[in-house]
């Protein structure tokens, strides 16, 4: 890490310090972020973009990286978590809007593609059958009101982009005995979008077993519904393995303490004796790891790296970034704890980029 000494006028320092305090940042982070913003804006001016998109429930921008790579320009982003906002700002030069439920859909810029990794909240369809019995109409607003998926729907209805791409956990399909996913599909169909979806494992692109459902849709009012869409992804070759993402010199602080390592072994033995599969996971250097989760900051137990003559260690934040396919140029401006949460909640970037290019290619084909 390089150090640069700056001279600031008293009034300049005061303004920066006040801004940093309000944003929950240090003065140093505020100045670094300002420089990233300047560089990001210069890069944007040089790029010739072929479509626009918005980035909802943006996290730290994994989906944005994917659609940037596909040739898009992000015209709006939204993310409520302040630490994720900080990371997003440091990398893209844009501060995402906050609470999506308070955003007027009409104020969002027009765009070609809506992108969202929306949270999977419980969907309440209680009362729908009662409304039917009373002869009242029910639609997506009735079914999804009170969930964040409703905000995706109302923006789709208001802005009618050409297409959308949504990402969620694999279990979305089976949540509430399939009723949740049925509501999602019905709601998108009622908005007049032709829907395609598939569960895809990210290990085709990174050394991690990570299954996620990807839902894409195309505007029937523009393109009709007599077409198909294939998730014809192109796996990375050669297939990546854990050894590919490891750093050479790792701080001893990432090595598990004797107390934690003893606890994890005892915990695993207890569950094995009970016939359960719970326990820590040593990632094979020539294979793939378990799924990285947002709880990784607690003990790192799901993905541990073996060390000769020592206790296993956790992945470093940079290794977690690589495990999700983020480039090494991606800035990590937050604490290790926040970084683990952010990468655990993120997407496999090269997989999303692969599907993003397929969505863009399909739009171009439909518009020929």
The string of DSSP letters for 304-325 reads EEEETTEEEEEPPHHHHHHHTT
- The tokens describing 211, both together, are 């299954």
242 neighbors 288 (Cβ within 8 angstroms):
yes
Which residues have C-beta within 8 Å of that of residue 317, sequence separation ≥ 6? 332, 336, 339, 340, 343
In Å, what is the CA distance from 203 to each residue of 11, 288, 297, 325, 338? 52, 7, 22, 10, 24
Pair of tokens at residue 344: 């655990």
| Annotated catalytic residue, options 74, 120, 153, 173 | 120
What DSSP state is assigned to residue 284? Answer: P
Backbone angles phi, psi at 157, to 5 degrees: -65, -40
Can you tell me the distance from the alpha carbon of 255 to that of 341, in angstroms, rounded to the nearest whole number? 19
| DSSP letter, residue 208 | B
The candidate with the shortest Cα–Cα distance to 65, out of 357, 331, 350, is 350
Q: Is 320 a catalytic residue?
A: no
**Residue partners of 13: CB distance under 8 A and separation at least 6:** 27
Q: Is 231 exposed, middle or buried (0-12, 13-18, 19+ CB in 10 A)?
A: middle
Active site residues: 120
């Amino acid at each position: 890490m390089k150090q640069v000494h700056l001279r600031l006028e008293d009034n300049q320092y005061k303004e920066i310090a006040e801004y940093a305090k309000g944003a929950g940042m240090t003065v140093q982070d505020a100045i670094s972020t300002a420089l990233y913003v300047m560089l990001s804006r210069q890069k944007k001016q040089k790029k010739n973009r072929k479509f626009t998109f918005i980035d909802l429930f943006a996290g730290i921008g994994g989906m944005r990286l994917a659609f940037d790579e596909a040739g898009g320009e992000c015209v709006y982003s939204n993310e409520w978590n302040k630490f994720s906002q900080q990371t997003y700002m440091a990398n893209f030069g844009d501060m995402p809007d906050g609470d999506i439920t308070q955003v007027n859909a009409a104020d969002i810029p027009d765009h070609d593609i809506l992108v969202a990794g929306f949270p999977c909240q419980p969907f309440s369809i209680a009362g729908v059958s009662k409304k039917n019995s009373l002869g009242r109409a029910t639609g997506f607003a009735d079914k999804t009101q009170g969930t964040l998926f409703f905000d995706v729907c109302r923006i789709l209805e208001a802005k009618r982009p050409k297409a959308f791409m949504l990402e969620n956990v694999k279990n979305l399909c089976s949540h509430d005995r399939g009723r949740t996913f049925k509501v999602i599909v019905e709601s998108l169909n009622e908005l007049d979008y032709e829907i395609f979806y598939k569960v895809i494992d990210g290990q085709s692109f990174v050394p991690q077993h990570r299954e996620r459902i990807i839902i894409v849709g195309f505007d029937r009012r523009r393109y009709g519904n007599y077409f198909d869409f294939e998730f014809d992804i192109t796996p990375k070759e050669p297939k990546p393995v854990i050894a590919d993402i490891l750093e050479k010199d790792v701080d001893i602080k990432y090595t598990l303490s004797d107390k934690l390592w003893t606890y994890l072994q005892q915990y695993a033995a207890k569950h094995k004796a009970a016939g359960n599969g719970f326990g820590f996971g040593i990632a094979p250097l020539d294979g793939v790891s378990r799924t990285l989760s947002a709880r990784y900051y607690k003990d790192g137990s799901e993905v541990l790296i073996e060390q000769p003559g020592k206790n296993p260690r956790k992945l470093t934040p940079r290794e977690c970034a690589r495990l999700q396919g983020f480039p090494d140029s991606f800035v990590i401006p937050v604490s290790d704890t926040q970084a683990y949460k952010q990468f655990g909640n993120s997407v496999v970037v090269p997989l999303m980029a692969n599907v993003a290019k397929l969505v863009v290619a399909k739009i171009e084909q439909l518009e020929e």
